[in-house]
Amino acid sequence: MKDSGWDVDVLIAGAGPVGLAAAIELGRRGIRCLVVERNDRVGYAPRAKTTNVRTREHLRRWGIADRLREVSPIPRDYPSNVVFATRMTGSGLARFENALNGSPARNDLYSESAQWVPQYVLEEVLREHAASLPGVTIRFSTELTAFEQDGSGVTGELKDLVTGAVRRVRSSYLIGADGARSLVRDAIGAVMTGDRAYSRNYNIIFRAPDLARRHAHGEAIMYWMVNEELPSLLGPMDGEGLWFFMVTKLANDVDPASVDPVALIRQGTGLHDLAIEIVGKDPWVAHKLVADRYDKGRVFLAGDACHLHPPFGGFGMNMGIGDAVDLGWKLAATLQGWGGPELLASYEAERRKVHERTIAEAVINYGVLSNQLVRPGLEDPGPLGEATRREVGEIIEATKLREFRTLGIVLGSRYEDSPIIVSDGSEPPPEHFMLYVPSAHPGCLAPHLWLADDSSLYDHFGDGFTLLVTAGEAGQAADFSARAAALDIPLTVLAPADRRLPARYGARFALIRPDQHVAWRGDALPADAAGLLAHVTGTIEKGAVTPVSATAA
């Protein structure tokens, strides 16, 4: 790319998972980024612990999926189970195995299983990789204090919180990945709308090396404790005795600072003599909020800066990384000159519907916590207590299934109404929270397959667009490929010669975006290849008719 004259191409406020993901998506395409973070990101309470299937697929695309497995403090063979019990010393109520699709067993629906790992470990892997990319610079203890934009760029004011020095940085674009209290959001006049303060909650990080051997519920990533005294949630942070404990609903008149955390843990678990070392405490409030706008001019919001919701289902951080991916490739395309004016306009059009659908699911999950599952006599001995526990177990299996079987949410999001997706007139697959139906309907995630050589189909997609030839030879796409090259649009032509692909994709050709979503499909390549490419890269203005007819099977 030609030297733009700016200090950097993109300034990113926030070095959490979302800001780092954006830097990776941009940096691997040669875009110069500066990531600034006012905190040191060390020792933060890890509210996020689920790196879901889709995020793991992005890590695979970036070449760091195996790295996260290597450095995880949770053993690789640790079972992805969720247990419901009255207490750690009490009776079991229900169990969900392979929760959140965390089993490492190979599955044709996706290329990477989910992983239970503390957020700070994921951040370290993302930070290490981002910093290794040419053109990516990360500055901690540096705060974006103000910015102004004009028609050609953004000027940001950065303060070094150690020395107090202030410098001005010029960039083409600014990404606000600066969290729930986003300065960037406030500065562009975006307003969070929805429901605030559903309830007050309390996270405690503690060390108790004896805990794992003091109960009989087996290994699990989460233990939900359902009792009248202190309904709560517990789970491991490593294999050596570090745990999190969460009081799922704190009374409004209780000050977390006044509560003895050791007493809470002992009370909830039933392990009244457990040796406990408190590592950290984190009171928090659950919200359901979405920004009324995601951008203004050259400034964009991503992650918690534009959406907040209850954490049940493990969607938040992962959804923010999805924002970074969508925005990242589009900013890169724009800066490299092959992305048109409608490309960046499609960011909010695509992501808002994903946010709204996912947040609605998180709110449903939040509606059934341990508090709502308690019944009188649940811990009583004898036939009446046993009958009550059976009843509650059946309720758990019926109501909490959707929280731990979420593939329809994680992989089923689609962009069929996007201005840069070309419809083929077919009906999209039905939406379901649990059931994911692979489909190459334009806007959907490209269906996955494991190929005969044990590689993932996704491994062969390019960093730009990929034209997948499901039947026949790559030579069929020579003219199309030449047209893309003439327009400087990066394109990989892929013809795997796998007989399952025509049925799985429902067409002989599929044009797949850099983020692995299907932009177009058809049984014949359009005569007007330039028109199709203009549409999917945002070069066609809104309302313009793009002559890209093709017949879908």
DSSP per-residue string spanning 200-233: EEEEEEEE-TTGGGS-SS---SEEEE--SS--EE
Residue 100 lies inside a defined structural domain of this protein: no
Does one domain contain both 359 and 432?
A: no
Token digits of residue 108: 């044709």
Q: Give the residue from 206, 202, 272 showing the smallest Cα distance to 244.
A: 206
- Overall number of domains in the chain: 2
Does one domain contain both 311 and 424?
A: no
**Alpha-carbon gap, residue 307 to 181, rounded angstroms:** 11
| pLDDT for 541 | 60
| pLDDT for 349 | 96
Range of the domain at 465: 415-536
**CB neighbours of residue 324 within 10 Å:** 25
Please check whether residue 27 is in contact with residue 134, taking contact to mean a CB–CB distance below 8 angstroms: yes
Residue 228 lies inside a defined structural domain of this protein: no
Q: What is the CATH number of the domain that holds 56?
A: 3.50.50.60
Cβ-Cβ contacts under 8 Å for 53 (sequence gap 6 or more): 101, 110, 112, 113, 114, 407, 410, 411
| pLDDT for 135 | 94
Three-state SS at 505: helix
pLDDT along the chain (553 residues), means of 10: 66 97 98 94 70 98 97 93 97 96 94 95 97 96 97 96 96 97 97 78 91 95 93 93 86 71 94 95 82 98 93 87 98 97 96 93 81 91 96 95 93 93 93 94 97 97 97 94 97 96 97 98 95 94 48 37
| pLDDT for 251 | 63
| pLDDT for 473 | 92
Does one domain contain both 345 and 446?
A: no
Residue 109 lies inside a defined structural domain of this protein: no
Does one domain contain both 344 and 442?
A: no
| pLDDT for 41 | 67
Does one domain contain both 456 and 343?
A: no
Residue 526 lies inside a defined structural domain of this protein: yes
* Beta strands 136-140; 232-236: pairing state: unpaired
Q: What is the CATH number of the domain that holds 457?
A: 3.40.30.120
Does one domain contain both 324 and 432?
A: no
| pLDDT for 253 | 58
Q: Give the residue from 205, 237, 201 showing the smallest Cα distance to 221.
A: 237
Q: At residue 271, what is the residue type?
A: L
